[in-house]
Structure formats: structure tokens, C-alpha cells
Amino acid sequence: MRSADDVLLLIDLQYDFMPGGALAVAHGDEVVPVANRLAQAFSHVVLTQDWHPAQHVSFAASHAGRQPFETIALPYGEQVLWPTHCVQGTAGADLHRDLHVPHARAIIRKGHHADVDSYSAFLEADRATPTGLSGYLRETGANGGAHGGVKRVYCCGLATDYCVAWSALDARAAGFEAVLIEDASRAIDLNGSLAAAWEQLRAAGVKRAQSAEVLRGAA
């Protein structure tokens, strides 16, 4: 079992990101059994769930004449327009039924503000609004609170180059060690986004690991 200084963050393992879903990530379902194995090794697991209102700003359908995968300029910066996905309360927003993590302690729902997207589990896309995850992690862990809480955040899920990468980068920015578990994640890879994400991750000091290394305590 991993130290209580460590948390496993399982990102957006929801039907709309699985093959056949509204915003399918190729082979996304393959990470579910890997996530289950990893979760067995962590006493502290947190899930995220993309969770949008029906007219969310990240949906192409919310912008007249726009198509999915185009980009637009929003007040907080460039935004990729996505197919409508993970609408609150819909079957597409449900976590995959084969995900078996009964001991998960928290579910962070993100993207719930209609006019701001949130790839990251820590900060919304305006780069200013916290989700509360950083504070939660500081108040939990081996000692919690004044003693520092969680030290290391292991990130995996969907998609490597968006929500997983942004979460790992923001974990680093918030002062945690961060590890991205590559084979427990799958990418969208839109216009070179996967290579760009790995370069940003490397530069930020996010470790790149495989699930076998994490399971044997080598990463």
C-alpha cells in the first residue's frame, strides 16, 4: 500500500470519453482495469467527473456556426470547442460501471460554471478559480493540516493531453510532486497536443511513469 502522503487522482473515467461516447477518446476504456489495479495500491483515491450544464461555453453547439474541434477566443483565452458531452445528470456523464473504487474519498466535479471550462482538477480554465482540491489535499494525507497533508499526486485517466496533463501541471504549480501514469491514460492528440503536453509536463517536473512501476513502488 502506498504511503498516506500519496493520492491517486482518477480523471474523467466517464462514458462520454469512452469508445461510442460523445467525445470518445480512442481506447479510453482500456484504462479502466489499469485504474482499478492502481486503486488497490492507494489508500487515498480521488475521482474527477466532467460535469457541464446543458449550454456550456465549451460546446460547439453553444456558438452559432461553429463546429467541434474549432477554437475560439474567450475572455480567459483560447478554447477548443467540443461536441456536447458530460451534461450534468446524463448517462454520458456517469462514471464507467466497471470502475471499482469503493474506497474513493471524494469526487471533484469540474466544468460546472456555464461560462468557464475546466480541464484541470485544481483550477478552472480562467486559471483563477480553484476547485478546492488543493485545499482538500493539504488538509488530508498522513498528517494533514498544519503538518502538510498529501505530498504526491499520481494522475491518470482521460485524456492524457487535456484533463490529465492540466491536472498534473496544476498539481506541480500548487506545490505537490506529480506523476502522470502513461499506460493508465489515453490521449485525444488534436493538432499535436500530446507531444506539446509531454514537453510541458517534462519542463514542469512532472514524472512520467508506467503503472507497473507505480505498483512495485519504483515510481
Catalog residues that contact Zn ion under the rule CB under 5 A.
50, 111
Residue 161 is a catalytic residue: no
Tell me if residue 189 is catalytic: no
- Which residue number, 25 or 179, has a Cβ lying nearer to Zn ion? 25
Nearest approach, Cβ of residue 6 and Zn ion (Å): 27
Catalytic residue among 12, 16, 50, 170: 12
Task: Give me the least distance between CB of 115 and Zn ion, in Å please.
Answer: 13
In whole angstroms, the minimum distance from the beta carbon of 85 to Zn ion comes to 6
Which is catalytic among the residues 6, 110, 117, 161? 110
Provide the grid cell at 141.
Answer: 494525507
DSSP E strands: which ranges in 37-194?
Answer: 45-50, 71-74, 77-80, 106-110, 152-158, 177-186
Q: Which residues, other chains included, contact 29 with Cβ-Cβ below 8 Å and sequence gap of 6+?
A: 18, 19, 96
CB closer to Zn ion, 57 vs 206: 57
Give me the residue whose beta carbon is nearest to Zn ion.
Answer: 50
The whole-angstrom separation of Cα 74 and Cα 140 is 35
Which DSSP symbol is given to 146? Answer: G
Q: Based on CB atoms, which residue is closest to Zn ion, 13 or 150?
A: 13
Residues 23, 186: Cα–Cα separation, whole Å: 13
CB nearer Zn ion, residue 43 or residue 90 = 90
Edge to edge, the sheet with strand 106-110 lists: 106-110, 45-50, 6-11, 152-158, 177-186, 207-209
Smallest gap from residue 98 Cβ to Zn ion (A): 21
155 in catalytic set = no
Cα(174)–Cα(180) distance, integer angstroms: 16
The one catalytic residue in 6, 163, 170, 207 is: 163
DSSP code, position 132:
S
Catalytic sites, residue numbers: 12, 110, 163
